[in-house]
């Protein structure tokens, strides 16, 4: 028997107790951090009793090869927080204690009462973007006097250099750079008022493991810098700043990239606070020299960073600056011209395929502060969509004040250097100092990017003008404000800006905000409305009804809404049907809005939207209800198409089989070309009914129903815009006809009646072809 085998058997025969007695209990000088047991899993966790865990840890050590423990995930955090203080002891008594290992594993050391507590992370949590916004306190809130100091965040693998963040009255905010996979992070607090803080052996430490998984199943937000054909690639900057940092294209790319990372971190935190998951848009990336920290640039470290596309237009710089002076000025000429130029340049550059939706945020680098006219030329703040292209644009007149690395974020948001209008603009008089210029530039550009994501103006938040407080999301103490004439101070959470709740609900359904765990998206994002008697409306959506916005008479922004949260339903999904009452909707409005026109906008979980401009008109009996021959009431769905073609006239067909029991619908002939011309319904007695016209392909296309098995029509899948481009018939046996007409025209909508109703006919209008379509339903 070999000695190694003999020793292995001997090892297995030894009891746990023998390990405890033979092993030294003095671990303060041990170099193997992988067997330490006292380090918390996160700033909010308390380690269990050492006596409870000692046996398990030693047993693991006897069974695993050396070094295996270092890859083991940190234990889950405990909910109790009172033990932290009881174990901490006095700070003076901790002088000279060993520092916990950088691996993030547990240590025998007591936990300092000044160890950072992390407010928005738990050990082992998941994130889905590169830059994470983290906040917390030093020690237990309210258990000790507030302290100032410095928080240092470092990685166990040193893949990103340690970054320091200020602590103000025990409050701190910081950014963390994540890499795909596990990220073991260490948070160290130091203060000149605490012993041992200035040594190389810090003891006020917390640890957390964050797993990052990039959402590659979501389309990216592209970043682009737009230049004139003869642009030198420079932006406005004060001479001292230009000399120190440069104001060329390379500097612009680094600053724009860092601003985009701040957008991402801010948005993810806002979604998390709204209990919608850590959702944020991702970026198109490229392998390049890292620009997010100073060390990468000095050492040439390569990273996958957000790609900034450089796009040149066929317009010269002077042409761009003359097209639009500045959107905020009444004397601006050709409003929107720069937006159209940007869209065309982006389209020419990316050359998207048919049906490929692009989301692009554009920085207009040639924006320039014209001191003679006191106008920002070559700048426009606009965002929106044109077909499959979604674009937000903003000028570079605030770019000089942006941070370009993590180390510059806090200095940028606290820099009180006055704005010299001899060189740079004080946009809207909100940029009296450098840090206020950061707020407006980064925040207003995020506002326009929000428009590109489909967000309208809101009553508060980024989509109003709340971004002038953007700094409060990234620093714990605000500097002196020239805009408010206030000296600043410590910032509480309720003083920060944010995305409006309705923006977050939109993002929850947006394809760019999908998480890897989300189920596949349905291609049918449509919403349909079904008026009923009694002033009620049923709305249906194949992907589920997400929320309903309610607008009173004259409202430009939404002040009241109804949410349909998934957790409120036993199936774990949002409802596909929702009933809306006019009385209930009006009750949610302020007293001065309860009368007058009532408008709603219904949003689906797939991102679809349905607007009802006059709720009362839609649900009124005269407009939406008709009496059938058999005495039953039928209800008309909200029409598709605009019914505005020249010569358009209304038409309606009530199926004979729905009012006469001796009739059976046997087949449907659809007349179509590049649009739907008409539909003819045939019955078993050879009678027929025509809706629309017999145009398009001669004879049309026939779809037969299985009469012997009682097959009947249960719905229609329609592609429509201004008119009806294509139509597909759905049956009770789960069959679908071919899609007749233009299979790629318009937008898709599925018309399936709510539960308890059946289709009894079709209605709409027809001109040269069908330009309006709805279905009739009855109980």
Answer yes or no: do 380 and 309 share one domain. yes
Count CB neighbours of 81 within 10 A.
Answer: 14
Percentage of the residues of the chain whose pLDDT score is greater than 70:
82
Residue 72 pLDDT: 38
**Average confidence (pLDDT) over 126-132:** 95
Residue 388 pLDDT: 86
- The two tokens of residue 325 are 């002076």
CA distance 671 to 724: 12
CB within 8 Å of 223: residues ≥ 6 apart:
256, 257, 260, 283, 284, 306, 307, 308, 309, 360, 361, 363
- Which strands sit side by side in the sheet containing 536-540, from one edge to the other? 528-531, 536-540, 577-581
Cβ contact 183:150 at 8 Å: no
pLDDT tier at 199 (50, 70, 90 boundaries)? Answer: low
Residue 44 pLDDT: 40
Check pLDDT > 60 for residue 107.
no
Name the most confidently modeled range: 104-108, 440-444, 696-700: 440-444
Higher pLDDT, 185 or 684: 185
pLDDT digits (tens, 9 = 90+) for 61-76: 333 333 333 333 443 3
Higher pLDDT, 379 or 629: 379
Which DSSP string corresponds to 658-683? Answer: HH-TT--EEEEEEEESSSEEEEEEEE
**Do the domain assignments include residue 6?**
no
Answer yes or no: do 324 and 444 share one domain. yes
Answer yes or no: do 540 and 670 share one domain. no
**Do the domain assignments include residue 517?**
no
- For the ranges 31-40, 622-631, 731-740, which has the lowest average pLDDT? 31-40
Check pLDDT > 70 for residue 446.
yes
Residue 566 pLDDT: 58
Percentage of the residues of the chain whose pLDDT score is greater than 90:
55
User: Domain count of the chain?
Assistant: 4
**Average confidence (pLDDT) over 280-300:** 94
Residue 229 pLDDT: 93
Answer yes or no: do 259 and 203 share one domain. no
The DSSP H or E segment spanning 319 is helix 317-323
**Do the domain assignments include residue 92?**
no
Cβ contact 586:594 at 8 Å: yes
pLDDT digits (tens, 9 = 90+) for 252-277: 999 999 999 999 999 999 999 999 99
Answer yes or no: do 126 and 241 share one domain. no
Closest CA to 89 of 168, 171, 196: 196
**Do the domain assignments include residue 4?**
no
Q: Write phi, then psi, for 685 (nearest 5 degrees).
A: -100, 15
Check pLDDT > 80 for residue 192.
yes
Residue 607 pLDDT: 87
Residue 324 pLDDT: 58
pLDDT digits (tens, 9 = 90+) for 173-185: 999 999 999 999 9
* CATH number, domain containing residue 134: 2.60.40.10
* 557, burial (CB in 10 Å: exposed 0-12, middle 13-18, buried 19+): middle
Last residue of a domain, one of 458, 480, 511: 511
Average pLDDT over the chain, rounded to an integer: 83
What is the extent of the structural domain holding 615? 528-619
Answer yes or no: do 399 and 375 share one domain. yes
Closest CA to 483 of 424, 426, 443: 426
Name the most confidently modeled range: 111-115, 222-226, 380-384, 485-489: 222-226
Answer yes or no: do 488 and 558 share one domain. no
Maximum distance among all alpha carbons in the chain?
101
Answer yes or no: do 229 and 194 share one domain. no
CA distance 500 to 505: 9
CA distance 737 to 621: 33
**Do the domain assignments include residue 518?**
no
Q: Which residues are tagged catalytic? A: 448
Residue 69 pLDDT: 38
Place of tokens 């030294």: 24
Answer yes or no: do 749 and 771 share one domain. yes
CA distance 113 to 97: 15
pLDDT digits (tens, 9 = 90+) for 335-359: 578 899 999 999 999 999 888 899 9
**Do the domain assignments include residue 26?**
no
**Do the domain assignments include residue 241?**
yes
- For the ranges 5-9, 543-547, 621-625, which has the lowest average pLDDT? 5-9
Residue 266 pLDDT: 97
* CATH number, domain containing residue 552: 2.60.40
Check pLDDT > 50 for residue 759.
yes
* CATH number, domain containing residue 659: 2.100.10.30
Cβ contact 394:441 at 8 Å: yes
Name the most confidently modeled range: 110-124, 193-207, 250-264: 250-264
**Average confidence (pLDDT) over 195-207:** 74
Last residue of a domain, one of 195, 212, 229: 212
Angle between helices 434-452 and 249-273 in degrees, nearest 10: 70
pLDDT digits (tens, 9 = 90+) for 309-324: 999 999 999 988 887 5
Answer yes or no: do 435 and 474 share one domain. yes
Check pLDDT > 90 for residue 230.
yes
Last residue of a domain, one of 185, 212, 239: 212
CA distance 254 to 296: 13
Answer yes or no: do 167 and 302 share one domain. no
Check pLDDT > 80 for residue 436.
yes
**Do the domain assignments include residue 502?**
yes
Residue 278 pLDDT: 93
Residue 198 pLDDT: 62
Answer yes or no: do 237 and 207 share one domain. no
């Amino acid at each position: 028997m070999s000695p190694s085998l003999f020793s292995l058997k001997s090892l297995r025969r030894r009891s746990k107790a023998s390990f405890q007695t033979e092993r030294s209990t003095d671990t303060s000088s041990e170099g193997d951090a992988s067997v330490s047991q006292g380090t918390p899993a996160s700033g909010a966790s308390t380690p269990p009793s050492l006596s409870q865990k000692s046996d398990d840890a030693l047993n693991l050590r006897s069974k695993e090869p050396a070094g295996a423990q270092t890859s083991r995930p940190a234990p889950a955090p405990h909910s109790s927080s009172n033990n932290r203080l009881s174990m901490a002891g006095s700070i003076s008594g901790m002088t000279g204690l060993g520092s916990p290992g950088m691996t993030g594993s547990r240590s025998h050391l007591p936990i300092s009462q000044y160890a950072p507590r992390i407010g928005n992370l738990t050990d082992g949590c998941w994130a889905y973007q590169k830059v994470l916004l983290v906040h917390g306190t030093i020690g237990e809130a309210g258990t000790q006097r507030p302290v100032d100091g410095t928080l240092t965040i470092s990685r166990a693998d040193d893949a990103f250099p340690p970054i320091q963040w200020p602590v103000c009255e025990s409050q701190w905010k910081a950014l963390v750079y994540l890499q795909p996979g596990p990220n073991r992070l260490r948070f160290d607090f130091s203060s000149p008022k605490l012993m041992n803080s200035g040594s190389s052996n810090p003891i006020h430490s917390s640890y957390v493991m964050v797993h990052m998984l990039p959402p590659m199943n979501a389309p990216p937000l592209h970043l682009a810098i737009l230049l004139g054909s003869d642009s030198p690639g420079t932006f406005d900057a004060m001479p001292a700043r230009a000399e120190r940092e440069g104001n060329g294209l390379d500097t612009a790319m680094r600053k724009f990239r860092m601003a985009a990372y701040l957008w991402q971190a801010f948005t993810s935190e806002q979604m998390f606070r709204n209990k919608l998951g850590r959702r944020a848009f991702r970026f198109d990336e490229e392998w390049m020299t890292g620009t997010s920290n100073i060390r990468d640039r000095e050492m040439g470290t390569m990273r996958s960073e957000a790609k900034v596309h450089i796009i040149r237009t066929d317009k010269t710089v002077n042409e761009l600056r003359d097209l639009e002076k500045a959107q905020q000025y009444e004397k601006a000429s050709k409003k929107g011209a720069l937006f159209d130029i940007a869209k065309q340049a982006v389209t020419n550059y990316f050359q998207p395929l048919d049906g490929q939706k692009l989301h692009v945020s554009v920085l207009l680098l040639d924006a320039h502060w014209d001191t003679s006219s006191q106008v920002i030329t070559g700048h426009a703040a606009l965002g929106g969509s044109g077909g499959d292209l979604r674009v937000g644009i903003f000028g570079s007149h605030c770019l000089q004040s942006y941070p370009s690395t993590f180390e510059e974020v806090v200095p940028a948001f606290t820099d009180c250097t006055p704005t010299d209008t001899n060189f740079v603009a004080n946009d809207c008089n909100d940029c009296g100092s450098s840090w206020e210029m950061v707020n407006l530039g980064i925040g207003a550009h995020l506002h326009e990017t929000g428009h590109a994501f489909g967000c309208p103006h809101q009553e508060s938040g980024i989509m109003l003008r709340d971004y002038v407080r953007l700094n409060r999301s990234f620093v714990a103490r605000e500097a002196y404000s020239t805009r408010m004439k206030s000296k600043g101070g410590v910032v509480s959470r309720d003083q920060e800006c944010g995305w409006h709740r309705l923006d977050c609900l939109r993002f929850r359904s947006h394809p760019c905000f999908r998480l890897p765990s989300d189920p596949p998206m349905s291609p049918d994002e449509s919403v349909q409305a079904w008026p009923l008697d009694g002033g009620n409306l049923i709305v249906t959506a194949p992907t589920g009804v997400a929320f309903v916005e309610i607008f009173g008479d004259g409202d430009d922004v939404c002040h009241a809404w109804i949410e349909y949260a998934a957790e409120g339903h036993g199936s774990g999904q949002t409802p596909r049907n929702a009933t809306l009452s006019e009385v209930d909707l009006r009750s949610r409005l302020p007293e001065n809005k309860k009368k007058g026109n009532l408008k709603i906008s219904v949003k689906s979980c797939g991102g679809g939207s349905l607007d009802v401009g006059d709720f009362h008109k839609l649900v009124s009996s005269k407009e939406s209800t008709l009496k059938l021959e058999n005495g039953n009431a039928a209800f008309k769905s909200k029409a598709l198409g605009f019914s505005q073609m020249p010569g358009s006239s209304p038409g309606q067909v009530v199926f004979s089989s729905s009012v006469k029991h001796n009739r059976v619908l046997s087949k449907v002939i659809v007349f179509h070309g590049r649009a739907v011309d008409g539909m003819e319904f045939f019955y078993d007695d050879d009678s027929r009914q025509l809706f629309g016209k017999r145009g398009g392909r001669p004879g049309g296309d026939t779809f037969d129903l299985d009469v012997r098995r009682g097959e009947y029509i249960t719905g229609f899948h329609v592609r429509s815009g201004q008119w009806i481009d294509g139509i597909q018939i759905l049956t009770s046996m789960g069959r679908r006809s071919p899609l007749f007409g233009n299979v790629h025209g318009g937008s898709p909508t599925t018309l399936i009646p709510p539960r308890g109703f059946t289709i009894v006919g079709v209605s709409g209008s027809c001109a040269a072809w069908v330009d309006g379509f709805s279905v009739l339903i009855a109980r």
